[in-house]
Amino acid sequence: MDTLVSMKVFRHVVEAGSFVGAAARMGMSAAMASKHVMHLEQQLGARLLNRTTRRVAPTEAGREYYERLSQALTELDEAGQAVGAASVVPQGRLRVSSLTAFGLRHVMGAVAGYAAGHPQVTVDITLSDRVVELIDEGFDVAIRASPSGLKSSSLIARQLATAHIVLCASPDYLRRHGVPRRIEDLAGHNFIHYSSVSAQELTPFAEAGGGRVRLAGNLVVNHLEALRVVVLQGAGLSMLGTEVIGDDIAAGRLVPLLVDALPPRELPIYALYASRRHLSAKVRSFVDFLATHFDRRVLWPTPEQIRAAAMR
């Protein structure tokens, strides 16, 4: 017999004062209700009910068991209701990890809008350029970008937007050091490296003229926003995504370089989550909100606009 069912039958017997009343509540016969209580007594090794021809009443042990059992079954029912509600109504804590620069410039505004429309959800967002372990670290959603696409995994990826990686420098740096006209010219420039990604991954154009162009520089930065700052200050040239420097290109603070030899490289941005099955309402509603907010748009500027900016 199902012990959990037997527990529920016992609770109803005590509350109704009879097997008939308990049986009616449980949708079974009085004889079956009696068997369930006998099963429970055998499991516990104690008599729970005093049975007479007129009435059924709990023993002292039965009364104590009823008090504890009633509370436990109530909590169990409430837990089931909460889980069921969470799959329908967005609620609870939603842990999100996002790229720092992209998060500051694009995600936080979306998060504010989502939070305003979903007061029962507490959005706990962490900005970091580190690739978090979504499941192991307890995150519900991670927002990531990858120029080479995401590696196969058990995670579900939904593309939100597309940025582009471009080589750029400030007008001041170019006035002092000259504008590189060919890939080979890069060997004479100060290249600022982003330490979270290898130079080889960021610069597939290193091969030129039958040899390898060495991209050297005296600055290594581990934060994209910090990399943007030092490039704006004229410290050197570097590769940056338009999700970070789009406004700077538009305002002329940064100049795209070698756009014909080095076409702007697509940088897809994704929302990742664990599974489509049994997806909680908070995760589903948040990812849907982001998808609607970004609408898979190309983050300014487009490749055509980048080329136009390089010709100014």
Task: Write out pLDDT tens, residues 126-143.
Answer: 998 888 888 778 899 999
Q: Is the pLDDT of residue 124 over 60?
A: yes
Q: Which amino acid is at 39?
A: H
User: Which CATH number is associated with domain 92-158+277-294?
Assistant: 3.40.190.10
In angstroms, the CA 42 to CA 60 distance is 17
Contact 197/220 with Cβ under 8 angstroms? no
How confident is the model over 27-53, as a mean pLDDT? 86
Q: Are strands 49-51 and 56-58 parallel, antiparallel or unpaired?
A: antiparallel
pLDDT at 115: 95
Is the sign of the CA dihedral 244, 248, 249, 254 positive or negative? negative
Kindly state the percentage of the chain with pLDDT values over 70. Answer: 87
pLDDT at 199: 41
Place of tokens 């037997």: 6
- Torsion angles phi and psi, residue 196, rounded to 5: -75, -15
Structure tokens at 271: 């929302």
User: 163-267+301-310, which class in CATH?
Assistant: alpha beta
In angstroms, the CA 29 to CA 222 distance is 71
> Which value, to the nearest 10 degrees, does the dihedral of the CA atoms of residues 25, 30, 35, 41 take?
60
Residue count of the chain, please give it. Answer: 312
Query: Do 3-85 and 163-267+301-310 fold alike per CATH?
Result: no
Q: Which amino acid is at 145?
A: A
Q: Which amino acid is at 132?
A: V
Q: Is the pLDDT of residue 205 over 50?
A: no
Task: Give the least confident one: 142-156, 219-233, 270-284, 290-304.
Answer: 142-156
Q: How confident is the model at residue 198 (pLDDT cuts 50, 70, 90)?
A: very low
Of residues 6 and 86, more confidence is placed in 6
Q: Where are the domains of the chain?
A: 3-85, 92-158+277-294, 163-267+301-310
Contact 147/263 with Cβ under 8 angstroms? no
Of residues 112 and 91, more confidence is placed in 112
Average pLDDT over all residues of the chain = 84
Q: Residues 53-75: pLDDT tens digits? A: 677 888 888 888 888 888 787 77
Q: Which amino acid is at 163?
A: A
Place of tokens 């937007």: 161
Work out the end-to-end distance of the chain between its first and last CA atoms, rounded to an integer number of angstroms: 81
Structure tokens at 68: 């504890």
pLDDT at 291: 93
Any residues with CB less than 8 A from the CB of 246 and at least 6 apart, and which?
Answer: 163, 299, 300, 301
Kindly state the percentage of the chain with pLDDT values over 90. Answer: 37
Q: CATH topology for 3-85?
A: Arc Repressor Mutant, subunit A (1.10.10)
Any residues with CB less than 8 A from the CB of 34 and at least 6 apart, and which?
Answer: 19
